[in-house]
């Protein structure tokens, strides 16, 4: 079996079909692919079944059902009492699925009599990732029976995707199976990772069924699981001649005296992630509190847009972060405009209040970004995203989180980090990464400020925006996994050195 770390490419249902077709053209018959897929399902089912008790397989009328017939044949051969139920008429099965039903050789019961109660395991082979409509009628009733069984502690193995889960968007099409585990083939799909759609694929398992790796070159996938293999080669490397300015200088805007904590969290994160020098651009009334709290982070006083422009005049400050605790309004808008249009070669990160200050005016922000083509990353949570793109149904109503983030990135000409349990990073050119294994403990005050600081610190070291944003999201999650229960935002940045020394990270060096 394979995993996300080794195989980060994500394929849409249509791209998966293209991979299957590539394999067939390369000499692997469709029946052979289905046989290997069904065998992989049977092996996983045997691992999941608590005993050699009854296994119930629910097959659909397409290729997913064909995989189910193969799995049933192997399980029966291995001594598992196995029952097969079919949605639709057997006479309507076509091509490979019809052949595998014939090879099964046993009884095929109608879906109307599908009864999972008391089974050791249920295999959901009803619908695959290519489902193009909502699940209804008898199929929906069967899904409800599976879910009732699962909620009573039953184990469910879904083939390809849980029936009813959209493989491209992660959306639930009417109803969807709540799986204990999902086994898919060659590569995972975006829908497996997009938990915001409401689906429950459970533990993810990836099987190799003989599709050549060369298929990826032909498909050129644009979506990836956010794993170190995706960006590790672009991370900054220290050399003997490195000095603090060679490692980049980040400038982070502080809020007023009563709103300084968010910027300090971001500044510490930028320093911990490797920026050589980090400075807090501090309003005059906040200089004392910032100076009292910081040691390695420098504090630079400024007054108004003109004073901020003077700080930007130092060309060594090559990465700027605005937003955490900055306050919402025209004053923050003017500082954002200064950062995006000032002379020099620098990257800009916009978070929190910097985004809300442009609520409903995404076009104005896009114009500022385009003015000097400044590499820009924005880091909204869903509420900030909705406010920024108010009045843009082409973005807000795009089909699913991945499509929304991509549409926003194209509209702004910026990399978008759309945060959440399934954080999506999208670039204007269509590339996207989807976060996985991001702990719910990250939902704590100041967590997003730390993430923005990680992005800023990586940009300061010369990392490209998409790679920097993806790496920061992964690092953010890895720090939280290391911290465990009781995490507060102050913990995250200080755990970064431990993550950099971890086997999980160094395996991709």
C-alpha to C-alpha distance for 219 and 360, rounded to whole angstroms:
37
Higher per-residue pLDDT: 248 or 2? 248
Start-to-end C-alpha separation, the chain: 23
Per-residue pLDDT at 157: 98
Summarize pLDDT for 463-504 with one digit per residue, the tens.
Answer: 999 999 999 999 999 999 999 999 999 999 999 999 999 988
pLDDT in tens, 48-79: 997 889 999 999 999 999 999 999 999 999 99
pTM above 0.85, yes or no: yes
- Mean per-residue pLDDT for 334-340? 97
Tokens representing 422 are 């399934």
pLDDT value at position 148?
98
The dihedrals phi and psi of 98, each to the nearest 5 degrees, come to -65, -40
Per-residue tokens: 329: 């309004």
Write the pLDDT tens digit of every residue in 215-234. 999 999 999 999 999 999 99
DSSP state string for 143-170: HHHHHHHHHTT--EEEESS-TTB-TTT-
Q: In what order do the strands lie in the sheet with 424-426?
A: 9-10, 223-225, 432-434, 424-426, 415-418, 376-378, 347-350, 317-322, 249-253, 277-283, 298-302
Cα separation, 507 vs 500, in Å, equals 11
Helix (H, G, I), strand (E, B) or coil at 128: coil
The whole-number pLDDT of residue 49 equals: 94
Q: How confident is the model at residue 509 (pLDDT cuts 50, 70, 90)?
A: low
Q: Domains in the chain, start-ordered, CATH in brackets?
A: 9-221 (3.40.50.10260), 241-506 (3.40.1190.20)
pLDDT exceeds cutoff 90 at 236: no
Q: Is 43 helix (H, G, I), strand (E, B) or coil?
A: helix
Q: How many C-beta atoms lie closer than 10 Å to residue 348's C-beta?
A: 26
3-state helix, strand, coil in the chain (%, to 5): 45, 15, 40
Burial class (CB in 10 A: 0-12, 13-18, 19+), 345: exposed
**What gap in Å lies between CA 421 and CA 480, rounded to an integer?**
12
pLDDT for residue 174: 96
Position 240 scores a pLDDT of 73
What is the average pLDDT score of the chain?
95
CA distances from 349 to 320, 352, 449, 460 (A): 6, 10, 11, 11
Residue 134 pLDDT grade (very low, low, confident, very high; cuts 50, 70, 90): very high
How confident is the model over 354-360, as a mean pLDDT? Answer: 98
pLDDT at 508 over 70: no
Q: How far is CA 409 from the centre of its chain?
A: 15
Q: What is the pLDDT of residues 285-331, one digit of tens each?
A: 999 999 999 899 999 999 999 999 999 999 999 999 999 999 999 99
């Amino acid at each position: 079996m394979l995993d996300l770390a080794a195989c980060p490419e994500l394929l849409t249902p249509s791209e998966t079909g293209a991979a299957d077709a590539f394999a067939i053209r390369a000499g692997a018959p469709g029946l052979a692919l289905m046989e290997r897929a069904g065998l992989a399902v049977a092996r996983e089912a045997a691992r999941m079944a608590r005993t050699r008790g009854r296994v119930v397989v629910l097959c659909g009328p397409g290729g997913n059902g064909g995989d189910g017939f193969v799995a049933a044949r192997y399980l029966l051969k291995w001594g598992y009492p196995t029952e097969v139920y079919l949605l639709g008429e057997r006479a309507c099965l076509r091509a490979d699925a019809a052949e595998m039903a014939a090879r099964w050789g046993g009884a095929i019961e109608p879906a109307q009599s599908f009864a999972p109660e008391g089974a050791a395991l249920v295999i959901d082979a009803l619908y695959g990732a290519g489902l193009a409509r909502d699940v209804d009628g008898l199929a929906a009733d069967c899904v409800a029976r599976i879910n009732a069984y699962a909620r009573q502690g039953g184990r469910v193995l879904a083939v390809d995707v849980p029936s009813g889960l959209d493989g491209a968007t992660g959306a639930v099409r009417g109803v969807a199976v709540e799986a204990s585990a999902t086994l898919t083939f060659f590569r995972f799909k975006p829908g497996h990772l997009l938990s915001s759609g409401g689906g429950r694929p459970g533990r993810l398992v990836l099987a190799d069924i003989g599709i050549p790796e060369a298929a990826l070159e032909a498909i050129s996938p644009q979506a990836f699981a956010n794993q170190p293999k995706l960006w590790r080669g672009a991370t900054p490397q220290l050399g003997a001649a490195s000095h603090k300015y060679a490692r980049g200088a980040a400038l982070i805007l502080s809020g007023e005296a009563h709103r300084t904590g968010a910027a300090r969290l971001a500044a510490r994160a930028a320093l911990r992630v490797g920026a050589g020098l980090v400075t807090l651009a501090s309003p005059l009334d906040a200089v004392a509190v910032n100076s009292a709290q910081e040691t390695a982070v420098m504090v630079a006083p400024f007054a108004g847009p003109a004073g901020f422009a003077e700080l930007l005049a130092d060309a060594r400050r090559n990465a700027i972060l605005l937003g955490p605790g900055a306050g919402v309004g025209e004053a923050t808008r003017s500082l954002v405009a200064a950062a995006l249009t000032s002379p020099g070669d620098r990257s800009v990160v916009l978070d929190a209040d910097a985004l809300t200050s442009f609520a409903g005016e995404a076009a104005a922000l896009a114009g500022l970004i385009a003015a000097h083509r400044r590499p820009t990353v924005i880091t909204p949570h869903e509420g900030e995203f909705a406010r920024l793109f108010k009045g843009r149904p082409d973005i807000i109503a795009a089909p699913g989180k991945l499509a929304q983030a991509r549409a926003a990135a194209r509209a702004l000409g910026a990399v978008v980090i759309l945060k959440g349990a399934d954080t999506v990073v999208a670039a204007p050119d269509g590339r996207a990464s989807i976060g996985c294994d991001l702990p719910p403990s990250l939902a704590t005050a100041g967590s997003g400020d730390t993430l923005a600081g990680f992005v800023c610190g990586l940009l300061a070291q010369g990392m490209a925006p998409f790679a920097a944003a993806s790496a920061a999201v992964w690092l953010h999650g890895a720090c939280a996994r290391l911290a465990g229960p009781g995490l507060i935002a102050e913990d995250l940045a200080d755990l970064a050195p431990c993550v950099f020394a971890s086997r999980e990270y160094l395996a991709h060096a």
